[in-house]
Structure 1
Amino acid sequence: MTVSKQDIIEALKEAKEKSTDRNFTQTFDLSIGLKNLDLSDPENRINEEVTLPHGTGKTQKVAIFADGELAEKARNAGADQVFSRKELEELGDDKTRAKKVADEYGSFLAQADLMPIVGKELGPVLGPRGKMPNPIPPTEDPSKRLESSRNKVCVNVRENPVANLPVGREDMSNEEIAENVETVLDFMISKLPKGPKQIKSVTLKTTMGKPVSLKVN
């Protein structure tokens, strides 16, 4: 399957034309329909994060599970929240709060040696949301990781053969959104057993607009 950047840009223009005027900046949503994919086989399910080259246009909150030096570096680097090991364990004992935290933050990082605890305490909450943390060595500067995490979106194909995710906003350029779309399509193709042959449909729409289909070759 090949979808040119120009085809994507034309679809974005059409989606804008079909959009209802609203007094807020609308999001562009990408929908990718799949075919011949047996989701009863866990190996065919997709639940991963993708870094968009231009982000979604909306600042995403990032939290980190860390102690000591890494925790201090993360605070200085602008992490939205730093959870210590003790706080992590407390979250594991309070499922209601754990779910709120999982929904509040778009992405998570974790000190490498805390990953087993994260899995034990929060795996059932973060896993289904596609938000299991990426591990980070305790001596690393987390600045770049935090910046990259703010541009991530979750691609989730678990129960239905379709992936829906935001790829930009109206106040971004068509070029930027098109490059985000290309990144997601390339990722999806790399994860499918038969690659582009399993892409059934690709559509774009604004929050309040009608979907526009892209030609799938």
Structure 2
Amino acid sequence: MPKRGKRYQESAKLIDRTAQYGTEEALKLVVDAAKAKFDETVEAHIKLGVDSRHADQQVRGAIVLPHGTGKTRKVLVFAKGEKVKEAENAGADYVGAEDMVQKIQKENWFDFDVVVATPDMMGLVGRLGRVLGPKGLMPNPKSGTVTFEVEKAVKEIKAGKVEYRLDKTNIIHVPIGKVSFGAEKLIENFKTLMDAIIKAKPAAAKGQYLKSITVTSTMGPGVKVNPTKVMD
């Protein structure tokens, strides 16, 4: 195990690694333990009692966090006709069609964080499946990124919409803000996220749904949240 820095060791003293904390106490500890010289991102890591290999046990969706994430995300929109202007007016960073496909394929260009596409563009965007898919950038109706409501989609992403989805180990990793938000705003963002994940519980999921939850800042130690007290 790599030797941790002095700051990390000081922070770790604040936290009992064997304990599970209530939501409010956990996020206060994360804020107190963040000692880096930059504004650290706070993330939630949620392990679910489902099997992501089965289609009927997938957990995926998107939620607008009440206080955003503290990060401005660059949005690429695939659209044509009047939807191009709509995307530009809504604040999209890049809008295009075949030209954007070429740029990504030929220049290995990925200067964007989210891709939105109108349904009639998905045949074109599908050609990028091999490169966008592994990066988690492929537009998807479940996350609201395949839609004719381009203005709404772009504005929500800019306002702090985050997507949540299971990885191969049945864990969801989601940023819930910055340390500078303070505990109160982080708690509200976290509870909004957890409410969405609880509501997204698949009917096929058996046994304990929320297996374990950890909240952590970029450089700080992880703090375990008691899954039974998440919404308290």
Name the TM-score class by shorter chain. 0.7 to 0.9
Match of 1:126 among 132, 140, 146: 132
Render the CA deviation track for 1:62-118: whole Å, top value 9, x for unaligned. Answer: 1101123221232233211112x2214425754x62xx42xx322222123112221
Match of 1:87 among 75, 99, 104: 99
Tell me the SS of whatever aligns to 1:197. coil
In 2, the alpha carbon distance for the partners of 1:200 and 1:153 equals 22
Q: Which residue of structure 1 aligns with residue 166 of structure 2? A: 157
Matched, 1:44 2:57: yes
Letter in 2 for 1:24: F
In 1, the alpha carbon distance for the partners of 2:214 and 2:58 equals 21
User: Is contact 1:91-1:122 (8 Å) kept?
Assistant: no
User: Is contact 1:112-1:135 (8 Å) kept?
Assistant: yes
Q: How does 1:1-217 map to 2 (within 5 A)?
A: 7-19=22-34, 21-35=35-49, 37-83=50-96, 85-91=97-103, 93-94=105-106, 97=108, 100-101=109-110, 104-118=111-125, 120-133=126-139, 134-137=145-148, 142-150=150-158, 151-193=160-202, 194=205, 197-217=208-228
| Runs ≥4 residues deviating over 6 A | none
Render the CA deviation track for 1:10-56: whole Å, top value 9, x for unaligned. Answer: 2111112222x222101111111223x22332332345433322211
Q: Which residue of structure 2 aligns with residue 3 of structure 1? A: none
State the 1:155 CA deviation. Answer: 2.0
TM-score, normalization: structure 1?
0.79
Tell me the SS of whatever aligns to 1:60. coil
Deviates further, 200-209 or 153-162: 153-162
State the 1:125 CA deviation. Answer: 2.9
Residues paired across the two proteins, number: 200
Change (3 A) 1:127 1:190: farther
Render the CA deviation track for 1:134-180: whole Å, top value 9, x for unaligned. Answer: 2333xx6x443211022222323131021122110012142322122
State the 1:208 CA deviation. Answer: 0.9
TM-score, normalization: structure 2?
0.75
Deviates further, 51-60 or 151-160: 151-160
Change (3 A) 1:57 1:107: same
Deviates further, 50-59 or 122-131: 122-131
In 1, the alpha carbon distance for the partners of 2:61 and 2:87 equals 23
Aligned CA-pair RMSD: 2.5
Letter in 2 for 1:148: E
